[in-house]
Amino acid sequence: VGGKLHGFWYAFGTHDGYNLWEAPDNVSMAATALAIGAGGALSSVQTTVLLSVEDTISALQKASTIRYRPPGDKT
């Protein structure tokens, strides 16, 4: 799918291993995760999408334009 595995680490705790992937887009990475999970070698898979600094700044700028009121706020 045009991605790259940057590393794999074993761990103690909730999950036994962590890896860092780079993919051209979220759909490609989801396809990779599905293919690996379908192989049956893993008992569970959890993914976390990471944002670049540039994407985070864009999200912060966009968030400042959203008018949000928590539920129950009558102001």
8-64 pLDDT, tens per residue? 999 998 889 999 999 999 999 999 989 988 988 888 888 899 999 999 999 999 999
Written as six digits, the tokens of 41 are: 């070698």
DSSP state of 64: T
- Residue 67 dihedral angles phi and psi, to the nearest 5°: -95, 105
What is the DSSP secondary structure assignment for residue 52, as one 8-state letter?
Answer: P
pTM of the predicted protein model: 0.67
Q: Please answer whether residues 43 and 16 qualify as being in contact, where contact means their C-beta atoms are separated by less than 8 angstroms.
A: no
pLDDT of residue 75 exceeding 80, the answer is no
Amino acid in position 66: I
Over 90: is that where the pLDDT of 74 sits? no
